[in-house]
Amino acid sequence: MGTLYLVATPIGNLDDLSPRALRILQEVPLIAAEDTRRTRQLLLAKGIQHKRLISYHAHNQKEREQSLLKALEEGDVALVSDAGTPALNDPGYELVRAAIQAGHSIVPIPGPAAPILALIASGLPTDTFLYLGYLPRKRNERRARLEAVRHLPFTLIFLEAPHRLVEMLEDVLDVLGDRRLALARELTKVHEEVWRGSVSAALRHLDLEPPRGEFTLVVEGAAEVASPRWSEAELDRALRQGRAQGESATELARKLSRVSGWKRREVYERLRVIELDDGGR
């Protein structure tokens, strides 16, 4: 049984191809590439010649899947995208799923990924984030997608083409508000740029400097609004109601600590006081 290698390739700077990735590309008998011409250029630049390539992209993934699974029965296969990490925002994940179901090993070979590079250079929180890829082209669908994440506190990451960037940002401003963001373009290339500011300032900036190249956008998540702390009477009422409905002390403490502004330990203590008071009546 062959192994499917998911090999990350450079998104601009050829020096970003890791020695391990280079070795895998040299050794595997077959490479499935989103763009065979671009991959062939990369291989030639790295001194790899006469390598067997097969195209695998959004328009032929179904017909190619079975032939690639057959190839995996006979040996190893490397999957590469036209640039960056495969199976992110391309059909590669479907081949990965099919290979897993067929019992093959999946080995990711790390390397460049524009969403992660833009995130770590953005200056925005990196502990929790949500990658959303390209938003829908139709405005009502795009706004609906933004509305669905409007209240999430996670940093948001998008990709966008230059000719749709301004109208996309206008919807971001309208739906999400004037948040902090970073616009990253030409990452790892000579003219790499990461612009930081607010959404409204970005629109003014793009009015003076029309966008060129593919963009990765990193947008601040929604501000977490602290819930007002319940009064003691409100907490007591909820505790008595929960106990009357048969909820355990553990269930009540966990549930009410999330919504009341009281810590779980405090909820437990308050419940003991109530039970002592009620038991003495």
Same domain, 105 and 134: no
Q: Which residue is it, tokens 């948040």?
A: 179
- Please name which of 58, 57, 216, 210 lies closest in space to residue 134, comparing C-alpha atoms: 216
Q: Is residue 224 part of a domain?
A: no
**Is 44 inside a domain boundary?**
yes
Cβ contacts of residue 15 below 8 Å, gap of 6+? Answer: none
Q: Which residues of 42-68 are buried (b: 16+ CB within 10 A; e: fewer)?
A: bbeeeeeeebebeebbeeebeebbeeb
Q: Which of 68-72, 79-83, 171-175, 245-249 has the lowest mean pLDDT?
A: 245-249
Angle among Cα 230, 233, 237 to the nearest 5 degrees reads 95
- Region 227-244 average pLDDT: 89
Among residues 55, 89, 112, the one where a domain terminates is: 112
> Measured between alpha carbons, how far is residue 79 from residues 30, 48, 94, 142 in Å?
9, 16, 12, 30
pTM of the entire predicted model: 0.78
Do both 88 and 18 map to the same domain? yes
Instruction: Tell me, yes or no, whether 119 and 107 share the same domain.
Output: no
When divided into structural domains, the chain yields a total of 3
Measured CA to CA, the distance from residue 9 to residue 232 in angstroms comes to 59
Which tokens in the block code for residue 279?
Answer: 């038991």
Task: Check whether residue 95 and residue 128 sit in a common domain.
Answer: no
148, 92: one domain: no
- We report the CATH number of the domain holding residue 45 as 3.40.1010.10
Same domain, residue pair 37 and 101: yes
Pairwise CA distance, residues 172 & 166, whole Å: 10
The last residue of a domain, from among 92, 112, 132: 112
**Claim to verify: residue 31 and residue 125 sit in the same structural domain:** no
Q: Which residues contact 42 (CB under 8 A, 6 or more apart)?
A: 9, 10, 14, 17
The pLDDT, as a whole number, for residue 107 is: 98
Task: Confirm whether 107 is domain-assigned.
Answer: yes
Domain containing residue 142: CATH number:
3.30.950.10
Distance of CA 22 to the CA centre of its chain: 26
Whether 105 and 122 share a structural domain? no
For 138-148, write each residue's pLDDT tens digit: 999 999 999 99
50 and 129 in one domain? no
Residue 270: count of CB within 10 angstroms of its CB = 20
Is the Cα dihedral 20, 22, 26, 29 positive or negative? positive
**Together in a domain, 108 and 10:** yes
Least confident stretch, 30-34, 53-57, 247-251: 247-251
| pLDDT tier, 89 (very low <50, low <70, confident <90, very high otherwise) | confident
In a domain, 147, yes or no: yes
CB-based contact 105:73 (threshold 8 Å) = no
The answer to whether residue 148 sits within a structural domain is: yes
Q: Are residues 141 and 60 in the same domain?
A: no
Residues 105 and 119 in one domain: no
Q: Does 242 map to a domain?
A: yes
Q: Is 99 part of a structural domain of the chain?
A: yes
Quick one: pLDDT at residue 226? 60
The residue out of 77, 112, 147 marking a domain boundary is: 112
227 within a domain of the structure (yes/no): no
Domain residues for the domain of 145 are 115-219
